[in-house]
Chains A and B, each alone.
Chain A
Amino acid sequence: MDHRPQAWGRPRDDVYGPYDASYLQTSGPKTATQSPVVTGTSVIAIKFKDGVVMAADNLASYGSLARFTDVKRLRPFLSTSVVGFGGDVSDMQYLDRHLTELAIDEAYEHESSAAGTSGGAPGGQLNAANLHKYLSKLMYRRRNDFDPLWNQVLVAGFDGAGKPFLGSVDLRGTAFAAPSLASGFGAMLAQPIMRRHAATDADAAALSREQAVQIVRDCMKVLFYRDARSLDRYSLAVVTRDGVEISEDERLEQQSWAFAERVRGYGTQVV
């Protein structure tokens, strides 16, 4: 037996094995976010004639646990753009606060927002394309520091020419734009459906707001059917030149699980 005072009250090494104090070490390489913890799943968005529609469900998962069920993952920016977050929720909160600060700094140069010019954002304020570029630089910088913000972010709004804009940035700073975008599972399940209606910008420009909303709603249903980390309550944002409308308590209507019976290949069924 070890009778030294530092051993008092501690599990015995010979019984429980040595205490692993490695986590207490302060030396060694800097450790940053190495994996996401509480996560949000897909975000989807599609352009239409007068703007962009975006949706994301209200769930934040802790692994496979549905941890928070009223999470707002679509955030307005300067009431001219919407940012949709997938991935780590704490990093989303950091980004949200950062963007709030950015928006306030923008408001210091106060051009009256009532006197909006053609370019979507009023008075030369940051538009969605600018914001997309800004976020891509921020995310790329953090990946260079090996301290990534573990998110994939969709940015919707208008570009400098006043045309609808939809872009994406991921945790490595990869940035791109397209007529329709989906992060996470949505890239596999929702994107093909959306591309059927908006393969090109010209196709998207032929869609009405109602059509675009319906497409997005259908995609959210498909995602709920197939994505185990999804929820039937979701947020829906519509960005137009008139501003941003976000509704945060949408529900999936008219679900039909009849198809589930025919699903074969995994699970408990034998044949």
Chain B
Amino acid sequence: MAAMFSQNPLMNGPNYSFNDAPRSNAPDGAREHRFDPYADNGGSTLAIAGADFTIMAGDTRLTSGYSINSRFHPKLFKIGGSTADQKDATLVLSVVGFAADGEALKERLDAICKMYRYRHGKPMSVKACAQRLSTILYQKRFFPYYVHAILGGLDEDGKGAVYSYDPVGSYEREQCRAGGAAASLIMPFLDNQVNFKNQYVPNSGEGHALQERERRPLTRAEVEMLVKDAFDGAVERHIEVGDGLQMMAITKDGIEEIVLPLKKD
């Protein structure tokens, strides 16, 4: 039509009317957003399930880039207590990654667990809460909570339970899990020390005859020791980990919180 009469060599069409105007250089009018809604606030978390306890841990440093925003910003939260101080909570959530999403996720899960408690007159089981957390994460599949979440508690048999998640809700019950900046440093250590990977009975043979070291549940003292060692190692090798170590021990008697110093460099 009018395009035939254009003198414009580039457009090969008239471009005076706004209706005829080129939309934009980007495909289909899409615009680049300069705002990045995500940030990485560093830090690391760790959870180990024992025979009748679960230990959760996380450092307390909050970073952005090379800056330390705060030396005490907890990553562990008691979930689903009947009051604001969470005195009677039975579950612990750890979140590491983007702190604002972590905070939002924690508040949502806590609200849901509280509602469950009001409605059913009993705290939510770890199993139920774990499934619910997965659903929350998956519901934001296309604008995810940018966090590595770990949920800890005691299961129906009173055994330690640790559930770990990816940002979009894929989850698994595990014996132990490390999350966050130093996950890749801590996880192999845990494989070796908790699940006795690559540990063999000395002089038990060679090649396939080599016997794996017998796996046994760790005691609480052993686990606490492991956690401290894991974080001391992480602090040494990762700049985003440090300042303080927050540990929560979940037993049938409740949740015990311990805060220890870490190197502040």
Using a CB–CB cutoff of 8 Å, the interface residues on chain A facing chain B are: 1-2, 4, 6-7, 10, 12-14, 17-22, 24-25, 27-29, 31-35, 136, 140, 143-144, 146, 148, 168, 171-178, 181, 187-188, 191, 199-200
The answer to whether B21 touches A22, judged by C-beta atoms less than 8 angstroms apart, is yes
- The answer to whether B201 has its CB under 8 Å from any CB of chain A is no
Residues of A near B29 (CB, < 8 A) are: 22, 25, 27-29
User: Counting CB contacts under 8 A, is B205 at the interface?
Assistant: no
B16 & A22 in contact (Cβ 8 Å cutoff): no
State whether the Cβ of B254 lies closer than 8 Å to any Cβ in chain A: no
**A contact face: mostly helix, strand, loop, or mixed:** loop
Chain B residues with Cβ below 8 Å from A177 are: 70, 73
Contact string against A for B residues 164-187, beta-carbon threshold 8 Å, 1 for contact and 0 otherwise: 000000000000000000000000
Q: Mark B29-52, 1 if CB is under 8 A from A, else 0.
A: 111011101110100000000000
Residue B5, interface by CB 8 Å: yes
Q: A168-B69, A174-B39 are in contact. Are A21 and B21 (CB under 8 A)?
A: yes
Of all chain A residues, the one with the shortest Cβ separation from B5 is A2
Which residues does chain A contribute within 8 Å of B23, judged by CB atoms?
22, 25, 28
Q: Contact between B31 and A28 (Cβ–Cβ < 8 Å)? A: yes
**A30 smallest CB distance to B (angstroms):** 9
Stretch from B97-105, B149-157, B210-218, B231-239 forming part of the interface with A: B97-105
- Asked whether B39 lies within 8 Å of A29 as measured between CB atoms, the reply is no
Interface residue? B62 (CB, 8 A): yes
Contact flags (1/0) for B16-32 with A, using CB distance below 8 Å?
A: 11100111110001110
- CB-based contact B103/A136 at 8 Å: yes
B8 and A173 within 8 A (CB)? no
Known contacts: A14-B8, A27-B29, A176-B62. The answer to whether A21 contacts B18 by CB under 8 A is yes
> In whole angstroms, how far apart are the Cα atoms of A18 and B13 in the complex?
10
Q: CA A31 – CA B31 in complex, angstroms?
A: 8
B76 to chain A, nearest CB (A): 15
List, sorted by A's number, 29 A–B pairs whose CB atoms are closer than 8 Å.
Answer: A4-B16, A6-B16, A7-B14, A7-B16, A13-B14, A13-B16, A18-B21, A18-B22, A19-B15, A19-B16, A24-B18, A25-B29, A28-B23, A28-B31, A33-B35, A136-B100, A140-B100, A144-B37, A144-B143, A146-B35, A172-B39, A173-B104, A174-B41, A174-B99, A175-B103, A176-B62, A178-B70, A199-B71, A199-B264
